[in-house]
Amino acid sequence: MTANKTLIYKKLPKGLPVPGQDLVVESREIDLENVPEGGLIVEVLFSSFDPYLRGRMRDPSIKSYSPPFETGSPISNDSVSKILKSDHPDFQPGDIIKASVPIAEYAAIRNVAEQRVIKVQNPFNLDLALLIGPLGMPGLTAYSSLHKIGKMAKGETIFVSSAAGAVGQLVGQVAKRQGLTVIGSVGSDAKLDWITRELGFDAGFNYNKEAPADALKRLAPKGVDIYFENVGGEHLDAALAHMNNGGRIIACGMISQYNNIGEPYVLKNLTNIVARRLTFQGFIVSDPEYGPAYYREHQEKVQQWLAEGSIKAKISYTDGIENAAEGLVGIFEGKNFGKAVLRIKVVESVKTVRLPLKKLAGDCGWPLRQTMSRLPTSGGPMGASQREAVVVNGRHFALHGENVSYCFHIDEDTGDVMSDHFGGPVTEPVDEPPAMGGGWSTQAHVRREFPDQGRGDFGSPAVRIRHATGHAVSAFKYVSHEVVAGKPELPGLPATFGSEDEVTSLVMRMVDSVSAIQVDLCYSIFAKHDAIARSAAVKNMGSSEVIIEKLASFSVDMPYDEYEMLQLRGEWVRECTRTRRKVDYGTQGLGSSNGYSSHFHNPFVSLLSPSATESHGDVWGFSLVYTGSFSAEVEKSPQGVTRILVGTNPNQLSWPLKPGESLTSPECVAVFASAGIGDMSRKFHRLYRNNLVRSRFAHKTRPALLNSWEGLFFNFDQDTIYKLAQDAAQLGVKLFVLDDGWFGVKYPRINDQAGLGDWEANPERFPHGLKSIADKVRRLKVASSRTKAQNESTTCLQFGLWIEPEMVNRNSSLYEQHPDWVLSAGDYPRTEARNQLVLNLALPEVQDFIIQTVADILDSAPISYVKWDNNRGIHESPSPSNYHAYILGLYRVLGELTTRFPDVLWEGCASGGGRFDPGILHYFPQSWTSDNTDALDRLQIQFGTSVVYPPSSMGAHVGAVPYETTGRSTPIRFRAHVAMMGGSFGLELDPAHIPQEERDEIPDLIALAERVNPIVIRGDLWRLRLPGESHLPAAMFVSEDGSLAVLFLFQTHTVPTHSFPRLRLQGLDPGSAYRVDGERFYSGATLLNCGIAYSFRGDYDSKVVFLERL
């Protein structure tokens, strides 16, 4: 015999049942070995808590539609169970069934027919708990009575009491589908917010704050046509007072009367049933004309609606059979939020299936459902015969790419999600590490996927939540998961994307049962790129506001080993400097706190094996898809575990989360490479080009441009600009960009002290407006690179524009009208930087202003390109959460504008590379890499930037010499060759003020850049020798199909009496032959293993070499 905890009806309650007195959980024995003849032995997974159960707790002499419970006996109800043993030909061990059984850990079913045993048919792989919610008795109650009694007609008004309950939530959504106006009554503000925002109710009220009669007078001035009655008492009386002639009242229940031991509520409006010719109809769902008549239709339609996400369902779980009494009584007190379900057993074993992807909705964003209807009784090796992208084997989970596996498991005792492996491919579950003796912290030796705070893990947490009582303790445990083909979108955030063939996602749901906080971890595996994108979504399911102080996008504990750490540090004009150091005991990290991402530290960190090089060794890269302040922590514990945490900066979060609200983190992309840093870089490049950049220019060649800034600064008028555009066209430039200084009416932008915010053309500089100068520029013919003649060209110059919409000067009309739109902190002075202030993009009115202003500019003139600048960080912020709110506002602005103007080539800029991050790259296919155009410095900057970002995303221009930033002079060919390595090649100079020999050379350099550009945009980069490590840096781009390659070779300075070394190439086919520069022929094997040698003459010499596969 086996001990079996069971919910027992102990005694007849007086009023509200008392847990531990009227209802108790006792251990009763059950025989799990001997199956009843023709019956089943089952493990109960979920049991339904329903209000009607209170009606069965009555004196046996009182007659009713359902039999009374017998004191001392188990309470039975509809449940979802797994068959352990069967003596029935229609049911097999492992089948999932729905049946009426005792609320207990195990049950014996003796009569399959009497206990209404149904094998679960779950074609859409929905969450099993839904089978006793919208797909069970509550859902069938709602569906059948609405159609049978309600006789809904489009345009009518329905009032639903207990609208957030199991029946009410479906009633409202079905009515909305039929075109009715839906009003709901609920008992809390969180429930009110949910039914109106999530379920789509037209209106509602909190009956604890507003009397039903007053609410209906306010919300239903034209009356109510249908009332769905769940409550009785004051609700019924209010409905009767507001019913229209011919109205229908569907009497489903009267929960207010269930525990009433005092005087019942006296109805005052009963005569309206007669006067208004109302239909007042009660029913029992088991009546033949209700449930049985509508069962098939209900199952087919509601399953389909749930699967496609057009209706939603909230499940309110009570976890553990030991809490069954409290959970059941809770529904009579209104404590449940949605369908009340007792979760007795966590489903541990599911199979991987591919499901239709839906946009995030409800709960934390991802509508979770269990992914099977029959549970396997055992599991085998992961991917032994066919490698799936996501494999679930009991408590073990694995994500597989072509050359990577990411594995974790659920701890059987604690419910924690534990890290197992992130590295090369494996084919079976990874052994859990043996327990370590010694020490006094039980958490110190374990590796966790989502470390929370306050339970003995003294490492840095992935999440820190400040509760209303002041503490920050959390205890998140696994409750369910979902596997889907494709990838959910992140609400309001940029993210990677992909088709169902490209990416598979696993969503792990964790719950802190004490605080009722829910976390969804979404892992998406891009198998072709060996990349895993992860984000976290937190939802407050409790009754008190909490503060999210920290929420990491990615967290993983790596096993004991020696690691080094690679980061990209820098400053203005020296961005993305590669820095490598040992990971030592303690915390080492990097981040940003100035409101944007990447001048000082790029939102990227990498772990490496100490022997890793560009082309050898294990490398792990973590890249945050975010544009604001961030944090990347690398912490080696005293026990040798290395923890990586990447996410928003916790010092600038403190996000308040009210009951019912959610917060979704940005996503972090993690890549594993076994062939060195270069291998990691190419995986990032391919992923970001194909699955992050939304722009239609992602794979298109970019026009060679000339930007007016470094040639003219603020010193121009219409004639000067037109002359510069003429010179650009004569040189073969395809795009002319008018930079800063073109705007301002009352406060002309003639220097950096005025005009920002007033985005109208300066009438003194452009008397006929922006369209006039744009039209003139666009009529200029571009000289042919072959003939150098403009009159033979059919190509006209394009026109582009610089803007900085997030900023404002005090000397502007915008600031005079809206000083309240500027970021500020109370009475503290507003700090200026570059003579400008920052608009608060957390404000919707500021977002709307920027969207409309930029749209008006683009509608007013033929503009092909926009450079979006941002020249200062955030100083005074009104609250820590405003930093993140600002970035969310920015993403809304960028999303709307880039969607509205898809034919515009957008380029990001923030004093150079201050916002060179994946978040911006999602909207803009390219960014200005640095304000430093010194070619020697640019080699370092561009090689460093390419560690993560595809060269196609880099803006790189030829500037005049000597450089403003360094005073250095280099030959124009050297400058141009460096700039050609970026996706957007251009000029930052005035051709009228450079030597004639340089001017004569520019057309040929532009022609060479145009030849190179398709390979740079779409090809793979191989860094062959690094600047800083060699005075002969080199890199090669290889086309997608491998048929073409272009090799860039540089000599930064001469080394006297030193021979020139051979350069071994990479990325070529050893079995093919190649033509080099159209003359020499080599085998791929020779180029790879022996290499090729070139000589150089003097400092700053360079060469561009083409290779063609034969």
> Are 1107 and 1045 a contacting pair, CB within 8 Å?
yes
Beta-carbon neighbour count of residue 1056 at 10 Å? 4
- 24: which strand partners? 8
Which residue type does 596 have? Y
Chain center to CA of 436:
37
Query: What is the distance, to the nearest Å, from the Cα of residue 153 to the centroid of all Cα atoms in its chain?
Result: 39
Measured between alpha carbons, how far is 1046 from 692 in angstroms, rounded to an integer? 25
Q: CA-CA distance, 849 to 138, in Å (whole number)? A: 47
- Other beta carbons within 10 Å of 826: 6
- The answer to whether 757 touches 821, Cβ cutoff 8 Å, is no
Question: What are the b/e assignments for 149-178, b being 16+ CB within 10 Å?
Answer: bbebeeebbbbbbbbbbbbbbbbbbbbbeb
Give the Cα separation of 139 and 131 in Å (integer): 9
CA angle 519, 521, 525 (to 5 degrees): 170
C-alpha triplet 627, 899, 950: angle, nearest 5° = 50
- One-letter-per-residue 3-state SS of 1059-1079: CCCCECCCCCCCCCEEEECCC
Q: How far is Cα 183 from Cα 948, in angstroms, rounded to an integer?
A: 52
Torsion of CA 809, 813, 819, 820, to 10 degrees: -120
* Cβ burial, residue 486 (10 Å; 0-12/13-18/19+): buried
Q: Where are the alpha helices (DSSP H) in 949-1083?
A: 972-980, 996-1018
Phi and psi dihedrals of 789, rounded to 5? -110, 130
Q: What phi-psi label fits residue 311: left (phi over 0), alpha (psi between -120 and 50 degrees) or beta?
A: beta
Give just the sign of the alpha carbon dihedral 368, 371, 372, 377: negative
Q: State how far the alpha carbon of 194 is from the alpha carbons of 202, 541, 991, 1093, in Å.
A: 12, 11, 62, 69
Tokens found for residue 1060: 């020139």
Q: At what angle do helices 166-177 and 291-308 cross, to 10 degrees?
A: 80
Q: Sign (positive/negative) of CA torsion 471, 476, 482, 484? A: positive
Which residues on neighbouring strands pair with residue 630, listed in sequence order? 648
CA torsion sign for 181, 187, 193, 195 is: negative
List the structure tokens of 343: 């979760």
What DSSP string describes 906-935? EEE-BTTBTT-SHHHHHH-SEEE--S---H
DSSP 3-state of 500: coil
Measured N-to-C along each axis, helices 844-860 and 769-778 cross at an angle, to the nearest 10 degrees, of 50
Residues comprising the chain, all counted: 1110
Q: How far is CA 13 from CA 22, 54, 61, 261, 341, in A?
A: 6, 9, 15, 11, 22
Cα distances from 967 to residues 933, 960, 961, 962, 975, in angstroms, run 11, 11, 8, 5, 14
- Residue 5 contacts by C-beta under 8 Å, 6 or more apart in sequence? 25, 26, 27, 28, 104, 105, 321, 322
Looking at the annotation, which residues are catalytic? 869, 931
